[in-house]
Structure 1
Amino acid sequence: MEPLELVPGRYIGEGQPCFVIAEIGQNHQGDMELAKTLRQAKECGADCVKLQMSSLPHKFNKQALSRPYNSEHAWGETYGDHKKHLEFSRDQLHELQEYATQHDIPLTASAMDIPSLYVLHELNVPFIKVGSGDIHNLPLLRTAAACSKPLVVSTGMSDIAWVSQVYEELTIQDPPTPLVFLQCTSAYPSPPEQTHLRVLDTYAQMFPHAHIGYSGHELGIHVTIAAVARGARVVERHLTLNRTWKGSDHSCSLEPHDLRELIKAIRSVEAALGSPLKAFQPSEEACFMKLGKTLVAARPIRAGQMLEEDDLVAKVAEPRGIPAQRLGSLVGGYLNRDVEQDESIMEADVL
C-alpha cells in the first residue's frame, strides 16, 4: 500500500515513522488558554494535536441534554450544561487552529455529528477523525468519506463483522477513501487484558486498503509502545496537564513528561525493529574480536594429512585464524605445514 500523507509533508506507511496524535479532546476544561497547551505536544514530539467538536442538538436529543448530571466530573447541573461548558465554537476552533499553525503543529478534531463535520471541512483540517462513538454511524462515515480527506476511524465498541462492513462502505468507491483504522478499547482506563493488540494483525490482513494504528486509553505508556512494535502506523493518546483534574479522560491521559517519554520510546523501538534481514552488525565487531572463535588443532596435525572433524576445535585463540564457521569447508582438506596441538589454523596453512 502506498504511503498516505496524513498532514502536509508527513506520511504514514511502510518505512515511515509512527504518526503520534496528541488528543486534547476536552481536557481543556472549556478554557481556551488551557487548550493552547497544545504547544507542549509539539515540544514533546507529537505530529498532530486533536480536539473534539460537537453540535449538541445534533449529537444528543433533548432528554439526554436535560437529564440531571450529578457526576463528580460535572460542569453543570444538566448533561447539556456540562457539555455546553466544554464545547468550543467554530471561531474558537479556528483561533486554536491558527495558534497551532504558529507553533508548527497541525490541528484537527473528531467530528461528533454531521454539522461539526462540515465545520471541520470548511476549516480545512488535514484529516477527519471519527471516534468510536460513531463507528456505527454510517451516515456520518459516508459524509466524512465524501470530504476527500484522509479518514481516521477508531473502532472501539464494535466487533470484526461490523468493522468489516464499515471497511466495505468506505473503500467501495474508486479510488478508496484514504483510511486509517485504529484498534481501540473504549474504557477509561482500559484494562490491558482487554486491549488485544493482536487485532492489529487481523486488521492488517483483512483490510489491505487501510493503514492500521492504535488509540490507547490504558494507564502508562508500555502498551502503546507494544502497539508500535506490533505494527501500528498511527498512535493516539490523550494529553493533560494534570491527571487529577476533574474530567473523565484525565486519569488515563498522559502528562507532557509521559508523552515525551512515550515518543522517545517509540522512536527507539522503530530503530530497533530495523531490517528483516539478519546480518552481522558493525556494533558487534568489538565483541567478535574478543569472543569470536577460531579453528585450532585439537591434536598435532602433519602436513599433507587429510583433515577430519576431530582434528579441529573452535576456541578463542591468538593469533586469530580461520573462523569457526568454516569447519565444514576444511574437513577433507590438507595443511601445507605441521601444526602443533592448540595452534591456530591460518589461511596460509591451507592447501
Structure 2
Amino acid sequence: MTSAVRIGEAEVGAGHPVYTVAEIGINHNGDVEIAKQLIEIAARVGADAVKFQKRTPDIATPPDMRDTLRDTPWGRMTYLDYRYRVEFGAAEYEEIGRYCKELGVAWFASPWDVPSVEFLERFDVVTHKVASASLTDLDLLKALRDTGKPIIASTGMSTMDEIDSAVAVLGTERLVLLHATSTYPCPPEEANLRMIGTLAERFGVPVGYSGHERGLQVSVAAVALGACMVERHVTLDRTMWGSDQAASLEPEGLRRLVRDIRTVEVALGDGVKRVFPGEEAPRRRLRRV
C-alpha cells in the first residue's frame, strides 16, 4: 500500500478521492481572460486543481529552435518570440491566483527551468509538477526537491532507468508519479495503463495518470486500475490554435470525466464480499437451495 501525499487541502493516494487536474497549460494562448474562463469551467465541474506551464523562454527554448519561423494568430514570428508571446508574467499569475482562490480551486504549474521554480515559489503554489520533457533535467529536479513542496512527476517519453534516476533525486517522501505517454493525441494501443501498477509496485508512491488521448474511456479505465490522480488538458474549443488543443477536453468533456471518475470510485467498493440490500429480494425469489 502506497502512502498518501498531501496537496493543499487534499490527501492524494489509495483510499482517498481521485485528485482531478484540469491542465490549462498554454491553451490560454497568452490571454488571461481565456485562462479565467477555463478556471471557471474547472471549478464548476468539480475539478480539484488547474495547472499551467511556466518557462523562462531564453532558457527553455532549444537553441536550434529559437530562430525557426512559425505562423501564429499574431503573424509570422520566430519560435522564441512566440514563446514570449504566450508566456504569463507576475501580473497574470497574481490575477490567476486571486481568481482560483475566489472559486475555491487550487492551482500550480510545470516549471521548465530553475528560475521558473523561483518565480512560482513567490505565489506559494500547493505543489510543483515535473513535465515529462523535464524528467531528465537533474538541476531542475534538485531545485524542485529543495522547495520542500510535494512534487508530481510525469513519466512520458522516459525509460525506466530515467525514471529511476529522477526518483533518486526527488525522493519518495512527497512524490506522486503520473504514468503518461507523450503522444499527442495518444492512441489507445500506446496508453499502456498497466504501467500504473508497475510504477506503484516499483517505487511505493501514489501513482496517477496524465492522459493525452481523445475521449474519456482510457482516463476512466486508469482510475479502475488504481490511478489516484487524473490530469487532462482542457480547452474552450479543440479547433483553437495551439499545439495542445486537439488532445484537450472541451468543457462538456471535462464535466463528464469528473462525473465518470466519481462514479467509478463508488463502483470500486472495498473488495469485501457481501450481500447488498438490493440483492435480498432476488435472493429470496430465485434461490431454490
Q: TM-score, normalised by structure 1?
A: 0.79
Provide the residue aligned with 1:196 in structure 2.
192
Q: CA deviation at 1:292?
A: 2.0
The number of residue pairs the alignment matches comes to 287
1 CA distance for matches of 2:231 and 2:21?
5
Provide the residue aligned with 1:21 in structure 2.
21
Provide the residue aligned with 2:40 in structure 1.
39
Highest relative contact order (Cα 8 Å, sep 6+), 1 or 2? Answer: 2
Structure 2: gaps of 5 or more residues: none
Compute the RMSD of aligned alpha carbons: 1.5
Matched, 1:144 2:139: no
Contact 1:73 1:247 survives alignment (8 Å) = no
Provide the residue aligned with 1:65 in structure 2.
66
Q: 1:74 to 1:283 in 2, by over 3 A?
A: farther
Q: CA deviation at 1:3?
A: 2.2
2 CA distance for matches of 1:2 and 1:188?
31
2 CA distance for matches of 1:286 and 1:75?
69
Q: 1:272 to 1:75 in 2, by over 3 A?
A: farther
Q: CA deviation at 1:111?
A: 0.5
Provide the residue aligned with 2:233 in structure 1.
238
2 CA distance for matches of 1:42 and 1:19?
13
Alignment map for 1:107-126 (pairs within 5 Å)? 107-126=107-126
- Which string of whole-angstrom CA distances, capped at 9 and with x for unpartnered residues, describes residues 28-55 of structure 1? 1111110101111011110000111111
Q: CA deviation at 1:2?
A: 3.2
- Which AA in structure 2 matches 1:52? Q
Structure 1: gaps of 5 or more residues: 294-323, 325-351
Contact 1:228 1:266 survives alignment (8 Å) = yes
Provide the residue aligned with 1:56 in structure 2.
57
Between the two proteins, what is the percent identity of the paired residues? 38
Q: What is the DSSP-based 3-state SS (H/G/I as helix, E as strand, rest coil) of the residue aligned with 2:77?
A: coil
Q: 1:202 to 1:104 in 2, by over 3 A?
A: same
Q: 1:112 to 1:74 in 2, by over 3 A?
A: farther
Q: What is the DSSP-based 3-state SS (H/G/I as helix, E as strand, rest coil) of the residue aligned with 2:178?
A: strand
Q: CA deviation at 1:239?
A: 0.5
Provide the residue aligned with 2:5 in structure 1.
4
- Which AA in structure 2 matches 1:130? V
Contact 1:58 1:115 survives alignment (8 Å) = no
Contact 1:221 1:262 survives alignment (8 Å) = yes
1 CA distance for matches of 2:97 and 2:223?
28
- Which string of whole-angstrom CA distances, capped at 9 and with x for unpartnered residues, describes residues 252-311 of structure 1? 100111111111111111111101111111121121122122xxxxxxxxxxxxxxxxxx
Q: TM-score, normalised by structure 2?
A: 0.95
2 CA distance for matches of 1:261 and 1:92?
29
Q: CA deviation at 1:134?
A: 0.1
- Which AA in structure 2 matches 1:120? L
2 CA distance for matches of 1:29 and 1:75?
14
Alignment map for 1:1-351 (pairs within 5 Å)? 1-7=2-8, 9-37=9-37, 38-70=39-71, 76-171=76-171, 176-208=172-204, 210-293=205-288, 324=289
Q: 1:192 to 1:73 in 2, by over 3 A?
A: farther
Q: What is the DSSP-based 3-state SS (H/G/I as helix, E as strand, rest coil) of the residue aligned with 1:196?
A: coil
1 CA distance for matches of 2:140 and 2:173?
14
State which structure, 1 or 2, has the greater radius of gyration over its C-alpha atoms: 1
